[in-house]
Each structure stands twice: as structure tokens, then as C-alpha cells.
Structure 1
Amino acid sequence: MAGAASAAVLAQPPDRFPSRPVTLWVPWAAGGATDLTMRLLAELAGRQLGQKVLTENRGGAGGTLAMPVLQQAQPDGYTIAQLPQPVFRAPWIQKVAWDPIRDTTPIIQVSGVTFGIVVPANSPFRSLEDLFTWGHAHPGELTIATNGTGTTPHLVMDDLCGQRGVQWVHVPYKGVAEQMIAVSSGQLMAGVTSNGFAPFVDGGKLRLLATFGEHRTRRWPQVPTLKELGYGIVAMSPYGLAGPRGLPRPVVQVLHDAFKAAMFDPQHVAELAKYDQELAYLGPEDYARSMRETYAAERRAVEKLGLAKGS
């Protein structure tokens, strides 16, 4: 009975939430684009909550290291984390102790990143069609870099080449900057990655052939999307915020309302725009449904690539 009583007390929301600072875990190293936007979001949300939202970084393991924190945290609203796309993919690739659906309480979806396919500025490939036409005529000679095996760029490129019957050489990189230098210098024929290509494209070192969003970007409106080119692919690696499993609904609502106001704040919108990101708001229920759909979709993608555990 004592255990049941303790659980009942734990499940009750506090009379006044929050009564102390909230900690937001960011599963990336400090100083990157996501870290900077998350820190501003936290600051703005803190003003809404009347308490500071402190950011803690836990980078490494492809953006999945906040999951063990959530799994072990008390469901009181004082520990939350950013959930990037890799948390829905990693469990299908390797053994982990956590589950991104079972061990979380969705709060809000915030945004997503811009992915694109780039080639050197002096490349003869002026379009994605040029790239695939050459690749089809030269089986196994098309060298393309991504930001790692099993990442969204890798999965999308594998899908694209599969649709076009192109045999390609995958060259994975750990860092975006290193990857973009290799492509812009002509060591590789193309690269597929996220926002990190922006300064290289804007600086005239790389040519952007296509982006992966639902619509063309404001920053490069002349560049077509994969969807409009007829490939039926939209990929933006959406991310949001979640708390531990069992977070009481009233606490979720308080956090949601504060972070929703923060994400729509002009300061935050302007910060996202620096990295060619836009808002992708979903409330708790819609975000929960999207998370389940993403988890199932990632399993199919991983199995298709032959990356599934035990394959």
C-alpha cells in the first residue's frame, strides 16, 4: 500500500508548477546551430514560466544521449529534453535500454532542419537529373558523401538512387564541415547533408541541386525540392521536446503553452532563419502521433538498408 500511495503522490501535479528552474537537455555539443536555437528557446520559455529553463548539453552517440536522462528522471516536469530524429532510428540499428515512445511524454514539436544535395561549384552537374544520368551511365563511380551511415541523408540518397537504378559509392563523414570541404574541393562528386552547407553555397563554393522540404526554401527559392521533382520524398528531421514517461497532463500543458509562446516569438523565428529553418508546430497529441509514425517509418527504412539489428 505504501508503494501505491507513493506512486499516487508522484503522479499528482504540483500546486504551483514550476516552483524552481526546469532543465532542458540538448543532445548535441555546445555552440552548434541546434544548441544555439535551443538556448534562446529556453530563455524565452523561462520568461513565460516565471522560472529559468537551464540548458545542459550531452553530445555524442548521434544525438541520442538525452534518452537515458529522460528514462531515469522523475516525471515532475523539471527534466525535459530535445528529441532529434536519431532517437527513433537508433533502437532499430543497435541495442539500447530505452524506447523513444515508451519512455517519453511528448510536449511540443518545434522545427526541423533543411537537407540538400550539393556538388562543387565547377561541377558539370547543373541539376539532380544530370547527376543521376551520369551515375546511371557510370555504375559504381558516383561518389557521394553524407554525414554518416544510417543518417537521414544516407537513407534518402539510398532511396533516390534505388528509384533511379544508380549504383553509388557512399562516403560517410563524422563532421559536416569536413564533408563540405571534401566536396567543394572536388575530392567527391556530391554531398548530402543539413544546414552546414549554407556558407559554402552562399560563398559560391558549392552548388545546391535540391532540398528535401515540403516547399522550396526562402533562402534558396530557385532550388527545387525532391517532392516537386517527382521523387515523393519529404525529409526535414523534425524535432521537439519531451519529458519522462508519466508526466502529468497539467504539467505538460504548462510546458507546452510556455514553449509554444517561445517558439513563435520573433526572436526565435529570426534565429531559426539564420539556419534556414522554419517552425513546424505540433501540440502534444499530434506530436505523439507523429512520433509513433516516425518510429515505424524508421524501422522500415533501416530494414530496407540492411542496417537492422541482426541483419
Structure 2
Amino acid sequence: MTESHRPASRTRRRMLHAGAGIAGATALGTLGLGAARAQSAAAANYPNKPITLIVPWPAGGSTDRHLRLLGQILGEQLGQTVIVENRPGAGGTLGPATMVNAAPDGYTVSQFPMGMLRMPHMQKLAWDPLRDFTFIIGVTGYTFGFTVRADSPFKTFDEYIEAARARPGRIDYGSTGVGTSPHLIMEQVAINAKVELNHVPFKGNADLQQALLGGHVMAQSDASGWDKFVDAGQMRLLTTFGEKRTQRWPEVPTANELGYGVISASPYGIAGPRGMDPAIVAKLHDAIHQAMADPRHEEVLAQLNQEVWYRNSEDYRAWAEQTYREDKVLIEKLGLAQG
């Protein structure tokens, strides 16, 4: 081939490549349009089968009590059954993590507890709490408290802490797992009070309650699944960890007013897998928001001494992003960050 032929040859190749690019772009555009139409049709028909709501705690605990009722009301709103599936473990992160490989079609959603924003700072995980999930709606937050058995020698929270000061590492308490709010609350208390406590982790608050009642741990830090045991006289509530005393147990002081400098409510909401159709997210958000206003939902929150913590999808994600950054600092302060 001579020099005079090369420019023409290169020109033809460029034209062929350009043509292939246009054809590819047209094909991708057609595929994209087709996918968008299919997605739109799926949203229009959503839901047309049962929805699975993952509760990452054992059955019978406070979160299970709350979300079972919310799921029931949500099912009524959507005209489909909402199946509650308990998947406890890993401090409440095991259940939501199973959604990473789930289809983002709105038929699998989960509670998104605070541990999801903390555990990645404590160990290497196969998922990212911000990248791998769709934030649907913020719902409520816990009332955390510290209880002992009714026959415990500890009559006040100060007495429990003084016992820990006298016997370093010998005074124990149970929580719902490493990295959960009930655990981190007590880690902060121990640092502020300059005492060493023995932490005993459990899968969830149902088995934790039974361990305390059975005398297997001295005390427990937990959400208000202990309410019925306190009201029945089987447990003694020594302190709560909110900004102010609860309406239900107004005689019980907060840890903050006792001078321990700890306040926590640990908000949570509902999330789905990454990549959900915005139209389906909007349907779920609106239906859950309506369910939250149902008198039955308000009643169960009152029983658990929890308050509504509503956040729309955008605000819920923004809150998660900020909390993820802030909790990194907390985990490092408590000496729990991965090496």
C-alpha cells in the first residue's frame, strides 16, 4: 500500500468506527428506553405480590413488636401481605446486609438500625452502608434504659457504677450486640465514669431479657422491650438515656442528669437494596407514612415509649451520610475502630 492510500484507509476506518458507535448508541438508547418502560410498568403494577420486611432482631423484642404491627398496617395500605422475616445477628446488621444481592424491586425491605452506620468502622465488611442501600423513610427511635432484676442489690444506677469501681471487670451487663447503641451507650458511660465493665453480647433483646430474668447477667442495657417486665415488677429500671425523663416512668432519672454525659435515641427507618425505582420508593414511602399515622401504630409507639422520627427519603439519606461521618469519630474515641 502506498502513502497516498493510507489517509483514505484511515478515513474509512474512522467512518466505520463512527458508524458502529452511532449504531451502538442507538442500540443502548433503545435498550435504555426499553428498560425505563419496563421499570415504569413495574412501578405502575407495584405491588402485585407479598412484600418481605426484614427485622434484624429475634421475634418478641421491642423492634419486632413495632415492625410487625407497622408491616400489618402497611399491608392494608398497599393491598398486599407484608411478611415479617426475623434475621438476627451481627448487632442488627446481618438482616439488612442480605439485601445487597436482592432484586431492587421493592419486594424486599428492611429495618435499617444505627449499627449499619457503625459496624463498617469496626470491621471490614462486604457492603457499604451508603452505597448499597436505598433509604425509603425514617420512622422512629428507641427509648434506651438500664434494668436489673427486681431482687438485685443495685437499687440505683450510681450503686451499680460504684460496684464496678470497686470490682473492675467483675460487674457485667448484657446488650443486643457489639456495636449496637445499647453497647456503645455503656462504653461511653464507662469511659466518663472511669470504670471497667464486663460486656456480654446477645443476638437481640428477647434472649437478653430471658438471660437477665434467669440470672445469667447482672443487668442489661437495651431498648424498651423491658417495659412489660418493669411494669410487672420483675425488673427495676435504674436509668434511661434520653434527653429528658420518660412520661411512662417519670420517677426514673436520665443518665445525663445523673452526671454521666450520655444521651442516645438511635433513630431507625426502612431501607431497600441499591437501585430501586424512584416511583416504587415513593409508593412505599407514602404508604409507610400513612401507616405511621394510624392510631394502632401510635399506640404501639406509646407502649414502647418511642416517638415518631419521620424523615422523607432524601432527608433520611442525608441524615445517614452525616451520622456515618460522626459515628466514625465516636468509634475511634471508644477505641473500637478496626486496626
TM range (shorter): 0.7 to 0.9
Who is 1:73 aligned against?
102
The reply on whether 1:52 has 2:80 as its aligned counterpart is: yes
Who is 2:7 aligned against?
none
Cα 1:203/1:104, change in 2 over 3 Å? same
Task: Report the structure, 1 or 2, having the larger helix content.
Answer: 2
Who is 1:16 aligned against?
44
Who is 1:241 aligned against?
270
Cα 1:184/1:35, change in 2 over 3 Å? closer
| Structure 1: unaligned runs, 5 residues or longer | none
Distance (Å, rounded) in 2 between the aligned partners of 1:209 and 1:120:
10
Who is 1:61 aligned against?
89
Distance (Å, rounded) in 1 between the aligned partners of 2:33 and 2:94:
29
Aligned length: 309
SS at match of 2:136: strand
Query: What pairs up with 1:118-157 in 2 under 5 angstroms?
Result: 118-157=147-186
Letter in 2 for 1:77: G
Who is 1:202 aligned against?
231
Letter in 2 for 1:23: I
Who is 2:143 aligned against?
114
Who is 2:14 aligned against?
none
The Cα of 1:290 is off from its aligned counterpart by: 1.8
Letter in 2 for 1:61: G
Instruction: List structure 1 runs of 4+ shifted beyond 6 angstroms.
Output: none
Cα 1:244/1:5, change in 2 over 3 Å? farther
Who is 1:163 aligned against?
192
CA RMSD of aligned residues (A): 2.9
Who is 1:261 aligned against?
290
Cα 1:137/1:97, change in 2 over 3 Å? closer
The reply on whether 1:250 has 2:290 as its aligned counterpart is: no
Letter in 2 for 1:83: F
Distance (Å, rounded) in 2 between the aligned partners of 1:173 and 1:107:
28
Letter in 2 for 1:54: V
Distance (Å, rounded) in 2 between the aligned partners of 1:127 and 1:281:
34
Distance (Å, rounded) in 2 between the aligned partners of 1:207 and 1:19:
45
Cα 1:67/1:190, change in 2 over 3 Å? closer
Cα 1:265/1:222, change in 2 over 3 Å? same
- The more displaced of 213-222 and 4-13 is 4-13
Identity of aligned residues (%): 42
SS at match of 2:288: helix
The reply on whether 1:87 has 2:116 as its aligned counterpart is: yes
Partner deviation per Cα, 1:278-298 (whole Å, 9 max, x = no partner): 322111122112212232233
**TM-score w.r.t. length of structure 1:** 0.84
Distance (Å, rounded) in 2 between the aligned partners of 1:208 and 1:52:
40
Who is 1:272 aligned against?
301
The Cα of 1:21 is off from its aligned counterpart by: 3.0
Who is 2:312 aligned against?
283
| Structure 2: unaligned runs, 5 residues or longer | 1-24
